Amino acid sequence: MTARVSESETQLSKDRHNSSTPPSFDELKKTRSLRRPSGAKSGGQIRHKGMTLKRVREPGEVIEHGLPERCDGCGETSPPATAMRMR
């Protein structure tokens, strides 16, 4: 039994650097992060004021994006755009 265990351990310890197995047989290993832990929890921090652009009442410039009449891939005609959505 101990012989089988030691044989299994030697097989598991081999990788492409010390055997003739290809790199695709190597186990996937996580790379270590180079960042140092800051101690803060991940995500948005408490009392941090967020920055959001406010929507203006009258825009200075309106850019219209039209649809092409035909699809470049299949050549099918595009349906006419009828409604505009405010975001």
- Nearest one of 54, 83, 57, 79 to 68, comparing CA atoms: 79
**Sequence-ordered strand ranges (E) for the chain:** none
Q: What is the pLDDT of residue 37?
A: 87
pLDDT at 40: 86
What DSSP designation does 50 have?
Answer: P
pLDDT score for 5: 81
pLDDT tens, position by position, 23-81: 777 777 788 889 888 888 888 888 888 888 888 889 899 888 877 788 888 888 877 76
Q: How far apart are CA 16 and CA 9, in angstroms?
A: 16
Amino acid 87: pLDDT: 66
